[in-house]
Amino acid sequence: MEELRDASIHHTAQKLAIAIKAMKNYDEIFKKVQILACSPGVDKNDLRNTLEDAIKSTGLETEIRNIVFHLVRNTLITEPKSQDKIPHSADPLAYLRRSAVQWDRRVRKSLNAMCAELSMPLHGQPRAVMDRDELISKWEELSNYTIDLSNYRPVYAPKDLLDVLLSLKGPQKPPEDTEQVPNWEFSHIELPVKNLFELRILFAELFRKDVTTNNLDLPTQCKRILDTKQAPLCQHFLKKGKTPAPFRGELWSFVLSHGSYMNGQVGLR
């Protein structure tokens, strides 16, 4: 098991290295490291440790960490375990489009039936000359024009649309026995847990147990976080939902990789 984990980490590191080398500003970062390697504070006899200390002291480590954070979060996508058992379609949203077409046909059929019952043309027709002249003469009185809408009815009930939404299931969801499972939930999301206790552990980061938020001034805490320039720390603070408005833009700029060093980001293959 340890060998498999080490191999997985090594494979991930290789893909990250390839992605970083393909970035537009890779040469700029590499030149900075070369300059630090030639600085007096770096000892050639202990190159690794002294170079790491120099990178940390200049703030280049934070920039590299943010690059790795955004690459892993945005482009490093793990394949599902049962990929070979579940067929993949060319268009993952094809089932939604098919449902939309079926719903459109259903609405059109109901609309045509109502128009035929009321003897009303579904498509617009040109007005007669007499009606057109009368409309022009009473143009300023159209705001008081009313018609009887009591014979018109909705083409579908809200419950019909809700039933269609509840029945939507993606093709990637494996078939299962749903006789004992209630079908009242809106989304069919598979959670890798079996009870509420495991669910709390899985989403432990959503619980607001950080007492430092109450003890420290929020603007002061935001300034400290922005001084670190660490994207994971900014993301963790934004999850609390207590960010002051003047600091939200700067915090989100780090989380969303809105920087020159991420302009050349490419996907991992």
Tell me which residue of 191, 201, 117 sits closest to 151, measured CA to CA.
Answer: 117
Alpha carbon distance, N-terminus to C-terminus of the chain: 25
pTM of the model: 0.42
Neighbours of 249 (CB within 10 A): 9
Q: Which amino acid is at 140?
A: E
Q: What is the rounded CA–CA span in Å between residue 179 and residue 190?
A: 17
Q: State both tokens at 192.
A: 């890798």
**What pLDDT was estimated at residue 143?**
72
Q: Do residues 218 and 196 touch, judged by C-beta distance below 8 A?
A: no
SS (HEC) of the chain: CHHHHHHHHHHHHHHHHHHHHCCCCHHHHHHHHHHHHCCCCCCHHHHHHHHHHHHHHHCHHHHHHHHHHHHHHHCCCCCCCCCCCCCCCCCCCHHHHHHHHHHHHHHHHHHHHHHHHHCCCCCCCCCCHHHHHHHHHCHHHHHHCCCCCCCCCCCCCHHHHHHHHHCCCCCCCCCCCCCCCCCCCCCCCCCCCCCHHHHHHHCHHHCCCCCHHHHCCHHHHHHHHHHHCCHHHHHHHHCCCCCCHHHHHHHHHHHCCCCHHHCCCCCCC
Q: Do residues 239 and 247 touch, judged by C-beta distance below 8 A?
A: no
> Length of the chain, please?
269
Tell me which residue of 102, 75, 96 sits closest to 20, measured CA to CA.
Answer: 75
Q: What is the rounded CA–CA span in Å between residue 156 and residue 121?
A: 19
**What pLDDT was estimated at residue 240?**
81
- Predicted confidence pLDDT, tens digits, the chain (269 residues): 456 556 677 788 888 888 888 888 888 888 988 888 888 888 888 888 898 888 888 888 888 888 888 888 777 655 444 444 545 556 777 888 888 999 999 999 988 888 888 888 877 778 888 888 888 888 877 777 777 778 888 888 888 888 888 788 777 665 555 555 555 544 555 677 888 888 888 887 776 555 544 556 888 889 999 998 888 889 888 888 788 888 888 898 888 876 544 444 444 44
